[in-house]
Amino acid sequence: MAASRARVRTRERRQKMTRAMLGCTIVLTLGLTAHAQSFDPLYKPELGDTVMVGWPDSYGIPIGVGGMRAKLSFFGTIGVESPEMVWDMNKVSGHMEDGHTYLLKQGKRYRLHAGLKVKIIAKTRTVATLFNAQIVQAPLYEVEIAEGEFTGIHVYISGFDLQQKARHLQDDWDQSDGVMHTGLVLEDDNPKLAIAQYRFAYSLSSNTYVLAAAKKKLLEAGVPLPPTMAEAMAKMEETKDKDDAEP
């Protein structure tokens, strides 16, 4: 009897895990949608490229009573006329931030709408910022506005805000697309964090384009491949079937 009750409890736990995994899949494939931006999650900023401004961020959409669904969309950003105007966390030691972080140079700020074309001129430097509760070095780029009334003006913006149209079938971004893009943007200055992003993307994505790219990055780094979402769910179903077959 004790063995039978243990098997029942094991099945119940696995069923809960399966439902949770299915829930994640539904959120990733249906919930995180946007306005058909068709940006390429595998784009890494390169000097000389003409690209578009687009800062990806998620926000909640109410569904039903007390429900919320996450969506991902692209927003405009602020370009500044001098790299010294960009906030840098500088040194963090113990319980406080130490540095001249708040003595920022004054200058012009430009509101750059999502989709605005800009040309990448140079990677100016990196700035220390918080990402997922850790300090990272984020690249700051000098770009030239390529259309509109401010054509020819040079401004400085983050590498996260530079996007390129997808050359393949890519409708809306999901969470795995976002982490893959983050890994590529931070790769040169934060290699360990980039590997963690590629592992996350490989384990979550249902997009074969992203899966192949993440796999290539992990193999090149000599990092073991984590199970994909499909593999994890298949393994759980296989274990469940074996348990159900037991007397």
78, 138: one domain: yes
161, 192: one domain: no
192 located within any domain: yes
* Greater model confidence, 91 or 202: 202
107 located within any domain: yes
Of 124, 148, 168, which residue sits at a domain end? 168
Of 151, 168, 185, which residue sits at a domain end? 168
50 located within any domain: yes
Q: What pLDDT score was predicted for residue 22?
A: 40
Q: In which domain, by residue range, is 59 found? A: 38-168
Model confidence, pTM: 0.76
Backbone angles phi, psi at 73, to 5 degrees: -140, 175
Task: Using pLDDT thresholds of 50, 70 and 90, give the confidence band for residue 50.
Answer: very high
Write the CB contacts of 62 (distance below 8 Å, at least 6 apart in sequence).
68, 69
Mean pLDDT, rounded, of the chain: 81
179 located within any domain: yes
199, 121: one domain: no
240 located within any domain: yes
Q: What pLDDT score was predicted for residue 176?
A: 83
Of 168, 200, 227, which residue sits at a domain end? 168
pLDDT at 121 over 90: yes
- % of residues, the chain, pLDDT over 90: 48
Over residues 120-147, mean pLDDT = 94
HEC profile for 140-181? EEEEEECCCCCCCCEEEEEHHHEECECCCCCCCCCHHHHHHH
85, 150: one domain: yes
Q: How many domains, the chain?
A: 2
